[in-house]
């Protein structure tokens, strides 16, 4: 019928008018149904009205034919073509199935002599006879051809089965017309000519007409009148009848075949030359050909009438599964599933790189349906069906698993290819290997009804369930992989999660699966409404999580715009156990790098889990490309990692991670306090200024004498330095986080400002475009609500009022996020509060009212001694002390000094500062000829290290003055006379927080 629809013009007779050519096939069928309905109505009335009704029917039928005779002939031709198409389809299916039989027989009769193992664990001794004739006897090309042929047979058979009810009337009417034309016209002619004087044969032909003729649709004169007027012109045109969709029964067809055989052979079964050999027969050759043609047509009629059974026979490929002979000869209960020919075909489709075969995957499962039908209906062996059912259950599970793996790999590779850096592809010459060839999964993903052993399976639902599990397994793998690495791998985690999220987005267009955010929250154990810490920020805080400052609320509002989803991991544990102790800061590059020092207690991490390439980026080539990108970020932690961390943690977990780090600062201060007290107690009672007249060597010797009391406290000094270093690392980490959050907040502000009616002013402040009025967003929704309410056809005005109120709430929410705080400023305020309880010990007021230079043991004195010692050790003793501590020590020590109000004291009395001052004076007073080269060679490195440390300290103090001015911190100032001024406030500097847009400005 599809061919007819495509070639409609080619089958229309030339005599058909243009108007008839444009008439659709449906209109013609409607006319046909009107004629048939009229015929049935008249037939029902015939019993009551007799010959009068019959004459009326014949009159109306002649009128219909005369009015639309061309259409009737056209419909007859179309239905005849349908019949020919069905017969051609049966013949095609028969030839294809016969070829499968022939190939199967050929393979069974010629087993493989030298099998090649397909798997590495297959041993030659394990090859059975059945494996030689099936598993190793089909190469890739033969499997492909067999899969295609099976697909042709099953698809054509399925198409013909679907149109069963559509073509039934056309087939029956065509067969009815063929039979009636033969028995009413052809046999009538034979009776008048060839068999007129042969009473026995004439009686058989008359019986054929009596048996098969449908006189109800006959529009000619009765047979008696036809015989009375043999030479009239009307009878010479043949009997006119109207075909009906009433096919002959099987008994009628068999009787006609038997009677034709009787007429031709005379009952002699052994007649030489065959039934139509015409050997010694008195039947003319033309009549014999007509009988032969109709005899063979009757054979096709039987198959066409039994349409469904014929299709079942022609498409039956169950023989491809049966192997009972080899089971018996091999004396085994069952062969492995790899030896099953249907499963071999399914597996070949899944594993084959040929894209076009994928849609034929389900066709091979029909072989199991055919085998089960034979086992139950023909062989009547239940144990065979049980074996088939067990194999089908196993095979279909493996098929769904492999199919989902293929689908997941394709979409994962597609997503990875889309997210690959274009500049990378432009720079290389082999960018085509990272492209993904398109594959058609839509047909399989939309399949909801797979009939298998009498059951209907929803393949789409099974694939969706499996995909949900694969996405969750992939997320779990990514988190486990990250947990087995250090914090630097967070950029790789973000890239892989982005690829997985895009994979989910692409697959969701063709398949209904769970939300990615839902799966992500499930995997990170962050689904509860009261869960604020995920695996990424997990740690035990107790009741401390409910404490904080008022500014913390502003901080949380700022972080709510950083991300829309969260991930699971143990970042806090990673920072506490590995990052803070073992990473050092390089202030120049703004990066943390791993220290060269071997940690005293190695960090115990799980081994890197193994997974297939599709759990990474899909294909090995894409995996290699993304690993190259990941290696660029695996050796340090910096701003790119902070962006990834902000995105992955999200607004729910990030604040609590920050609070945990701040609590860690408080804990570190508490931990080092007794150690610093021990260092204070060990210092000599009097420590004077370094004398200028002793030169650099004299100053260094005197400093060593002052600090010689610490020689026995090397472990204590190391612990204090490590504690100060971790405090500095956390504060610098907060600074990086503040930079990232401000960039994210700026991007969010630029997106929301037009809707809020905000514009930048000349001085950088935020101005409202509509003073005293609503924002453009609220105005828009209010106007839309008003316009909708004024419409009398509005059926649900309440919903529009709700939308307007929600717009007002959103306006307030976004405006509240504009004026946000600073993470670094809050961290400094928190640290200052944590230092308050130790201020009396680390920053004692002088008893005399004047600055006591010699007896002071404040914190700045402790840090000054520690600094000059580790600088000297790292330079003169060629030690790696500096590489073990980095610049974090300066950030931690200078921050504590600044918050304690000891910056001026430190700059005046620091040992390194005094040595550098002496070195400057000495370099001017001593001529170049008086300098000792050997001495300068040893001291220049130390002086350069001291200068670098002083520059770093000044940089830290400058940053602290800008970000945390001490307008509320009391400290001591020194007059020119040397008298101290107590309880004086430092000059207030411009704070970065004050330069932010303020509400109402």
| Residues 865, 871, 875: CA angle, nearest 5 degrees | 145
End-to-end Cα spacing for the chain: 77
Determine the length of the chain: 1001
pLDDT digits (tens, 9 = 90+) for 151-202: 999 999 999 999 888 888 888 988 888 888 888 888 888 888 777 767 777 8
Residue 578 contacts residue 603 (beta carbons within 8 Å):
yes
Percent of the chain past pLDDT 70, that is, above it, reads: 73
Residue 854 has pLDDT above 50, yes or no: yes
Residue 42 has pLDDT above 50, yes or no: no
User: 238 burial class (0-12, 13-18, 19+ CB within 10 angstroms)?
Assistant: middle
Task: Give me the pLDDT at residue 217, please.
Answer: 57
Range with lowest mean pLDDT among 243-257, 412-426, 812-826, 883-897: 812-826
Residue 511 contacts residue 461 (beta carbons within 8 Å):
no
CA distance 948 to 767: 44
Q: Which bin fits 77, alpha (ψ -120 to 50), beta or left (φ > 0)? A: alpha
DSSP 8-state symbol, 456: E
CA distance 628 to 73: 74
Longest CA span, the chain? 159
Residue 604 lies in a domain: no
**What mean pLDDT do residues 736-744 have?**
90
In whole angstroms, how large is the CA radius of gyration of the chain? 48
**What mean pLDDT do residues 735-740 have?**
92
Q: What are phi and psi of 196, to 5 degrees?
A: -65, -35
Residue 842 lies in a domain: yes
Q: Which comes out higher in pLDDT, residue 798 or 104?
A: 104
CA distance 532 to 556: 12
> How many structural domains are present in the chain?
2
Task: Give me the pLDDT at residue 31, please.
Answer: 40
User: 216 burial class (0-12, 13-18, 19+ CB within 10 angstroms)?
Assistant: middle
CA distance 479 to 472: 11
Q: How confident is the model at residue 714 (pLDDT cuts 50, 70, 90)?
A: confident
Distance of CA 626 to the CA centre of its chain: 17
Q: Which comes out higher in pLDDT, residue 117 or 828?
A: 828
Residue 410 contacts residue 439 (beta carbons within 8 Å):
yes
Task: Give me the pLDDT at residue 752, please.
Answer: 80
Q: How confident is the model at residue 896 (pLDDT cuts 50, 70, 90)?
A: very high
**What mean pLDDT do residues 246-268 have?**
81
Residue 448 contacts residue 459 (beta carbons within 8 Å):
yes
Residue 422 has pLDDT above 90, yes or no: no
Q: What is the mean pLDDT of the chain?
A: 76
CA distance 320 to 318: 5
**What mean pLDDT do residues 355-381 have?**
88
**What mean pLDDT do residues 829-857 have?**
79
Q: Which comes out higher in pLDDT, residue 395 or 13?
A: 395
User: 967 burial class (0-12, 13-18, 19+ CB within 10 angstroms)?
Assistant: exposed
Task: Give me the pLDDT at residue 600, please.
Answer: 62
Kindly write down the DSSP assignment for every residue of 544-593, as one continuous string.
GGG---THHHHHHHHHTTS-S-----BHHHHIIIIIHHHEEEETTTTEEE
**What mean pLDDT do residues 302-307 have?**
90
Residue 908 has pLDDT above 90, yes or no: no
Q: Which comes out higher in pLDDT, residue 27 or 531?
A: 531
DSSP 8-state symbol, 850: S
CA distance 655 to 552: 8
Instruction: Report the relative pairing of strands 970-974 and 980-985 from DSSP bridges.
Output: antiparallel
CA distance 474 to 499: 11
Q: How confident is the model at residue 1 (pLDDT cuts 50, 70, 90)?
A: very low
| Bridge partners, 984 (sequence order) | 971
Residue 774 has pLDDT above 70, yes or no: yes
H-only helix segments in 237-362? 250-265, 285-305, 307-314, 324-330, 341-351
Closest CA to 534 of 565, 564, 557, 567: 567
Closest CA to 188 of 209, 174, 167: 209
Mention every residue, 6+ apart, whose C-beta is less than 8 A from residue 669: 727, 831, 834, 835, 838
Q: How many CB atoms lie within 10 A of CB 417?
A: 20
- 401, HSE (Cβ side, Cα atoms, 13 Å): 6
Task: Give me the pLDDT at residue 931, please.
Answer: 55
Task: Give me the pLDDT at residue 543, please.
Answer: 33
Residue 463 contacts residue 407 (beta carbons within 8 Å):
yes
Maximum average pLDDT range among 52-61, 98-107, 325-334, 724-733: 724-733
Residue 638 has pLDDT above 80, yes or no: yes
Closest CA to 631 of 500, 428, 488, 497: 488
Domain C-terminal end among 320, 351, 370: 320
**Which residue has tokens 């001015």?**
965
Q: What are phi and psi of 16, to 5 degrees?
A: -70, 135
Residue 893 lies in a domain: yes
Task: Give me the pLDDT at residue 324, please.
Answer: 64
Residue 881 lies in a domain: yes
| Residues 599, 704, 718: CA angle, nearest 5 degrees | 15
Domain range for 790: 650-925+934-964
Task: Give me the pLDDT at residue 552, please.
Answer: 37
CA distance 244 to 234: 23
**Which residue has tokens 């009952």?**
267
CA distance 14 to 570: 82
| Prediction pTM value | 0.75
Task: Give me the pLDDT at residue 819, please.
Answer: 64
Q: Which bin fits 143, alpha (ψ -120 to 50), beta or left (φ > 0)? A: alpha
Q: Which comes out higher in pLDDT, residue 7 or 669?
A: 669
**What mean pLDDT do residues 364-387 have?**
90
Encoded tokens for 196: 């007129």
Q: How many CB atoms lie within 10 A of CB 636?
A: 17
Q: Which comes out higher in pLDDT, residue 788 or 24?
A: 788
**What mean pLDDT do residues 81-92 have?**
90
Task: Give me the pLDDT at residue 147, please.
Answer: 92
**What mean pLDDT do residues 653-659 have?**
84
Q: Which bin fits 978, alpha (ψ -120 to 50), beta or left (φ > 0)? A: left
DSSP 8-state symbol, 618: S
Mention every residue, 6+ apart, whose C-beta is less than 8 A from residue 647: 494, 562, 563
pLDDT digits (tens, 9 = 90+) for 129-147: 777 778 888 888 999 999 9
Residue 233 has pLDDT above 60, yes or no: no
Task: Give me the pLDDT at residue 293, please.
Answer: 87
Residue 876 lies in a domain: yes
Q: Which comes out higher in pLDDT, residue 774 or 150?
A: 150
Q: What are phi and psi of 96, to 5 degrees?
A: -65, -45
pLDDT digits (tens, 9 = 90+) for 978-1001: 445 444 444 444 343 333 343 443
**Which residue has tokens 């089971």?**
327
Residue 494 lies in a domain: no
Residue 995 lies in a domain: no
**What mean pLDDT do residues 708-737 have?**
91
Distance of CA 193 to the CA centre of its chain: 79
**Which residue has tokens 């996020």?**
817
Kindly write down the DSSP assignment for every residue of 703-759, as one continuous string.
HHHHHGGGGGGHHHHHHHHHHHHHHHHHHHHHHHHHHHHHHHHHHHHHHHHHHHTEE
User: 762 burial class (0-12, 13-18, 19+ CB within 10 angstroms)?
Assistant: exposed
Residue 245 contacts residue 251 (beta carbons within 8 Å):
no
With DSSP H G I counted as helix, E B as strand and the rest as coil, what are the percentages for the chain, rounded to 5?
70, 5, 30
CA distances (Å), 115 to each of 112, 134, 215, in order? 6, 11, 69
Task: Give me the pLDDT at residue 922, please.
Answer: 78
Q: Give kind and range of the element (H or E) at residue 981.
A: strand 980-985
Residue 42 lies in a domain: yes
pLDDT digits (tens, 9 = 90+) for 461-490: 999 999 999 999 999 999 889 888 889 999
Closest CA to 776 of 758, 795, 791, 800: 758
Q: How confident is the model at residue 325 (pLDDT cuts 50, 70, 90)?
A: low
Task: Give me the pLDDT at residue 775, please.
Answer: 79
């Amino acid at each position: 019928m599809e061919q007819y629809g495509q070639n409609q013009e080619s089958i229309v007779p030339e005599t058909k008018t243009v108007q008839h050519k444009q008439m659709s096939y449906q209109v013609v069928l409607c006319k046909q149904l009107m004629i048939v309905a009229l015929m049935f109505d008249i037939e029902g009335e015939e019993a009551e009205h007799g010959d009068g009704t019959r004459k009326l029917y014949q009159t109306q039928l002649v009128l219909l034919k005369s009015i639309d005779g061309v259409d009737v002939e056209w419909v007859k031709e179309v239905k005849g073509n349908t019949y020919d198409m069905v017969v051609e389809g049966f013949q095609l299916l028969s030839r294809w199935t016969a070829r499968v039989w022939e190939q199967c027989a050929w393979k069974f009769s010629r087993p493989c002599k030298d099998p090649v193992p397909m798997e590495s664990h297959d041993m030659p001794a394990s090859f059975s006879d059945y494996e030689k004739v099936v598993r190793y006897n089909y190469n890739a090309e033969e499997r492909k051809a067999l899969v295609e042929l099976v697909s042709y047979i099953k698809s054509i058979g399925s198409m013909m089965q679907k149109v069963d009810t559509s073509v039934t009337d056309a087939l029956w009417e065509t067969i009815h017309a063929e039979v009636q034309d033969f028995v009413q016209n052809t046999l009538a002619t034979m009776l008048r000519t060839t068999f007129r004087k042969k009473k026995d044969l004439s009686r058989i032909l008359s019986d054929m007409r009596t048996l098969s003729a449908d006189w109800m649709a006959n529009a000619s004169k009765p047979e008696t009148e036809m015989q009375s007027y043999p030479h009239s012109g009307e009878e010479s045109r043949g009997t006119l009848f109207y075909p009906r969709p009433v096919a002959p029964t099987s008994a009628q067809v068999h009787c006609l075949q038997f009677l034709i055989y009787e007429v031709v052979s005379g009952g002699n079964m052994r007649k030489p030359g065959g039934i139509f050999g015409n050997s010694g027969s008195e039947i003319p050759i033309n009549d014999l050909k007509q009988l032969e043609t109709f005899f063979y047509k009757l054979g096709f009629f039987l198959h066409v009438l039994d349409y469904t059974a014929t299709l079942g026979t022609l498409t039956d490929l169950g023989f491809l599964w049966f192997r009972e002979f080899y089971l018996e000869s091999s004396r085994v209960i069952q062969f492995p599933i790899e030896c099953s020919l249907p499963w071999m075909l399914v597996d070949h489709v899944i594993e084959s790189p040929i894209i076009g075969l994928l849609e034929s995957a389900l066709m091979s499962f029909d072989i199991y349906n055919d085998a089960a039908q034979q086992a139950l209906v023909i062989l009547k062996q239940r144990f065979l069906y049980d074996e088939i059912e067990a194999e089908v259950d196993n095979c279909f599970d493996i098929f769904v698993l492999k199919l989902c793996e293929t689908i997941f790999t394709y979409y994962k590779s597609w997503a990875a290819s889309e997210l690959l850096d274009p500049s990378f592809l432009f720079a290389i010459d082999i960018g085509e290997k990272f492209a993904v060839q398109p594959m058609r999964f839509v047909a399989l993903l939309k399949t909801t009804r797979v009939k298998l052993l009498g059951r209907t399976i929803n393949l789409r639902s099974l694939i969706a369930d499996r995909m949900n599990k694969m996405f969750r397994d992939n997320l779990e793998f990514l988190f486990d992989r990250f947990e087995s690495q250090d914090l630097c791998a967070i950029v790789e985690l973000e890239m892989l999660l982005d690829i997985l999220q895009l994979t989910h987005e692409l697959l969701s267009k063709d398949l209904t699966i769970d939300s990615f955010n839902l799966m992500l929250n499930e995997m990170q154990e962050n689904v509860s409404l009261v869960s604020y810490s995920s695996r990424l920020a997990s740690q035990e805080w107790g009741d401390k999580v409910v404490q904080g400052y008022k500014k913390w609320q502003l901080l949380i509002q700022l972080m709510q715009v950083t991300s829309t989803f969260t991930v699971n991991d143990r970042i806090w544990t990673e920072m506490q156990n590995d990052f803070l102790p073992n990473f050092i800061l390089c202030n120049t590059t703004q990066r943390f790098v791993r220290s060269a020092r071997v940690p005293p207690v190695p960090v115990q991490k799980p081994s890197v889990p193994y997974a297939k390439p599709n759990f990474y980026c899909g294909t090995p080539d894409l995996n290699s490309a993304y690993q190259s990108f990941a290696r660029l970020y695996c050796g340090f932690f910096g701003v790119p990692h902070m962006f990834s961390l902000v995105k992955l943690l999200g607004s729910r977990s990030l604040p609590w991670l920050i609070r945990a780090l701040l609590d860690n600062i408080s804990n570190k201060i508490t931990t080092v306090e007794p150690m610093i007290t021990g260092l204070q107690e060990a210092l000599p009672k009097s420590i004077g200024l370094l004398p200028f007249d002793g030169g650099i060597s004299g100053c260094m010797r005197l400093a060593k004498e002052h600090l010689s009391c610490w020689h026995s406290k090397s472990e204590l000094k190391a612990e204090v330095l490590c504690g100060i270093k971790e405090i500095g690392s956390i504060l610098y980490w907060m600074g990086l986080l503040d930079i990232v959050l401000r960039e994210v907040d700026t991007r969010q502000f630029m997106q929301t400002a037009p809707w809020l009616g905000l514009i930048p002013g000349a001085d950088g402040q935020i101005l409202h475009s509509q003073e005293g009025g609503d924002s453009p967003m609220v105005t828009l929704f209010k106007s839309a609500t008003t316009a909708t309410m004024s419409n009398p056809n509005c059926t649900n005005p309440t919903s529009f009022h709700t939308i307007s109120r929600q717009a007002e709430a959103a306006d307030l929410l976004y405006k509240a996020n504009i004026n946000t705080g600073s993470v670094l400023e809050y961290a400094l305020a928190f640290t200052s509060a944590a230092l308050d309880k130790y201020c009396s010990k680390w920053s004692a007021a002088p008893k005399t009212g004047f600055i006591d230079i010699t007896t002071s043991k404040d914190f700045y004195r402790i840090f000054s001694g520690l600094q000059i010692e580790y600088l000297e050790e790292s330079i003169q003793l060629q030690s790696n002390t500096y590489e073990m501590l980095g610049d974090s020590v300066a950030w931690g020590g200078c921050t504590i000094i600044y918050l304690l109000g000891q910056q001026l004291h430190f700059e005046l009395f620091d040992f390194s500062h005094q040595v550098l001052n002496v070195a400057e004076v000495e370099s001017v007073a001593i001529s170049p000829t008086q300098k000792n080269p050997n001495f300068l060679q040893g001291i220049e490195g130390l002086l350069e290290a001291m200068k670098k440390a002083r520059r770093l300290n000044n940089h830290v103090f400058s940053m602290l003055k800008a970000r945390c001015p001490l307008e509320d911190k009391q400290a001591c100032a020194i007059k020119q006379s040397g008298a101290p001024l107590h309880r004086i406030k430092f000059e207030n500097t411009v704070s970065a927080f004050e330069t932010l847009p303020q509400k109402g400005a």
